Chains A and B, each alone.
Chain A
Amino acid sequence: MTTHSSKRVYLQPTPVRIWHWLNALGIVTLGLSGAQIRFPEYINLFGSYKAAIELHNTAGILVALSFTFWFFYYTCIARKMTQLYVPSSDDLRHGLLRQSVYYFFNYFRGKPSPHHPTPDNKFNPLQKSAYLAIMFVLMPLVSLSGILLMNIAPLREIVLLIGGLKILVGIHFLLSCAMFAFLFTHLYLATLGKTPLAYFKPMWNGWEEIDEHESETTLESGHHG
């Protein structure tokens, strides 16, 4: 049975949206202030070098707290961390390939996405894998290296254990670049909805509109994640 009426699904609960936009604001601020900190003779967005440093430190703490909040919410309150972020065996065996074929082939032919998001299965297999790497590897490493760089004198022994300041700075810088490389892709993929803003809306108001024919068996309207 295929109809073209749409259905509203409550996909992004409020705590997740707060976390997401805090994170977004923090990460963009970190990127801009970080660029000024590394290339001060070319970039001056925040008036003074000291302002860039203080903003970078503040945004870094904000993002680290926001990450903690996200982790705590999904692990202890929503209890969906594994379900949402860890690819299932089916995802690994078929899902990754299926989703890749969609993105790199079927999408251009006008075929629908093989993944139908639900509050309990929001991410397609590629998203899951990417978010798993970002949230469980990249974010913690960038945050920890940043915390060390903010406290070099008191945490010097740990810095030495890592191999020295240069290695720490290198890790922080390259992981930050990787974070922004992901951000470019993330922003682009977010425009692949029915309209370019279709995927931005649920992250703003929580609700996503999904074609009935795409969701005939899986969705349960109004379900809170």
Chain B
Amino acid sequence: MGRKIGFLSLGLAALWLAAPVETAAMDDESCVSCHADAGMVGDAYVIDPLRYDTTAHAGLGCVACHESVTWDHPDDGQPLSRAGCLDCHQDIYEEYAQSGHAQYADCGDCHNPHLVRGPTTISGHDMNRNCAVCHETSGLVRSHGSWLPQAALHLEMLPCISCHSGSENIVISLYLTRRPLHPDSGAPARGLPFELAGYEDLKLLSEQEKISSLIDTDGDGFISLAELRSFNRNRDNRNLRLKGMLTPEIVTHDFGILANRWDCTFCHASGPGAMQTSFVAFPRQDGSFERLAVEKGAVLDVLYGTPDFYIVGATRSATLNYIGLAILAAGLIMPVGHGTLRFLTRKNRR
């Protein structure tokens, strides 16, 4: 009897030791070997390893959130455990819970935990895509249009969270857009609006070099005004345009209507340091964006720095101001010069 108890104790101990070893050995590669295949796991459970691997969550590993997984998954029939967002993001949730949005959407309604990235590695368009799930663009244009001049333009150039959250460090992000290709000829279709250029499109155009080499020709990871001008003046790039958006680098989840955003000078006034800070964001293969810093003040260039990006009252060119002043001064030549002689010769006209 005693020997039996002894063997049983040993067996249990072995099992106890073996179990964590079994789980710990389950790395992300094992999970992805099945979950990268939609045919095997179905669309609802498929993970794109290329896109997932560079997210912040990938660093934690699958098991960190799905800790109940065993080697028998899915044959064990046990539902997989999922970590709650609050387990790690309590502070964000508390902030979000105070907003009016909390009653309509949970974290997962906006953020896919297998794709979620930080604000500096996604585009302004990606930011708005989350909002567009519930907020239809035409409705937004209508509601904003009741008070905001050129509402459609504003909504196109701004992520919603730049105005509807306390997000900070708002910078100018420039994205490459291109003419869509004609379905028959495959040539850029003139007349169709420019759209955000994808990784594959730009890879083709950069002739298999790094995509950033389209603008950053010296490959130093920094975009000078000269490089921007050269890109914008190059006729070969006539079907590419840089589109600017004002994107936040630090996001908050206190969604609402901020009182100071009713004042247009929040953006439309020269001086805010952020308005001089700009980046060109190039798409990566994994769906994220790589930002390259642009020379300070490049958006103020009179013509070719950023030909399509202009914030009235904020990014005016000093050179144009001086030319304008010279023109106005020329208009004073007659009143001042002629007026002086007129005064001096007034006796002749009595």
Contacts and interface: CB of A to CB of B under 8 A. Distances in A.
A152 interface: yes
Interface residues of B, number: 48
B84 interface: no
B323 A166 contact: no
Contact of B313 (A49, A104, A110, A192): A49
Given A40-B268, A49-B263, A174-B323, A108 B348 contact: yes
Given A40-B313, A152-B153, A184-B334, A108 B342 contact: yes
B90 interface: no
B183 interface: no
B312 interface: yes
A5 interface: no
B150 A150 contact: yes
A174 to B, nearest CB: 6
B307 interface: yes
B204 interface: no
Interface in B186-220: 191, 193
B331 A170 contact: no
Interface string B145-163: 0000110110010000000
Contacts, number: 127
Contact of B265 (A49, A108, A181, A188): A49
A71 B309 CA distance: 35
Contacts of A184: 328, 331-332, 334-335
B320 A174 contact: yes
A40 B275 CA distance: 15
A84 B51 CA distance: 71
A41 B269 contact: yes
A156 interface: yes
Interface residues of A, number: 48
A166 B310 contact: yes
Nearest to B267: A49
A166 B334 contact: no
B303 interface: yes
Given A110-B348, A184-B335, A170 B320 contact: yes
B308 A38 contact: no
A78 interface: no
Contact of B270 (A40, A49, A109, A156): A40
A189 B263 contact: no
Contacts of B74: none
B152 to A, nearest CB: 4
A54 B323 contact: no
A49 B268 contact: yes
Nearest to A57: B149
Contacts of A49: 263-265, 268-269, 313
B133 interface: no
Contacts of A152: 150, 153
Interface string B227-245: 0000000000000010000
Contacts of B25: none
B328 A169 contact: no
A53 interface: yes
Nearest to B332: A184
A166 B313 contact: no
A53 B339 CA distance: 35
B313 A37 contact: yes
A108 B342 CA distance: 6
B229 to A, nearest CB: 12
A170 B335 contact: no
Given A163-B307, A164-B307, A166-B306, A188 B334 contact: yes
B349 interface: yes
A48 B338 contact: no
A165 B308 contact: yes
Contacts of A178: 327, 331
A180 B269 contact: no
Contacts of B316: 38-39
Nearest to B344: A108
Give 9 nearest A-B pairs by CB, closest first. A181-B331, A164-B307, A110-B348, A188-B335, A49-B264, A177-B324, A184-B331, A108-B345, A177-B327
28 contacts: A37-B312, A38-B312, A39-B270, A39-B316, A49-B263, A107-B342, A108-B342, A109-B348, A110-B350, A153-B150, A153-B156, A156-B193, A163-B303, A164-B307, A165-B307, A166-B301, A173-B320, A174-B320, A174-B324, A176-B324, A177-B328, A178-B327, A180-B328, A184-B332, A184-B334, A188-B335, A188-B338, A188-B339
Interface of A: 37-41, 48-50, 53-54, 57, 103-104, 107-110, 150-154, 156-157, 159-160, 163-167, 169-170, 173-174, 176-178, 180-185, 187-189, 192
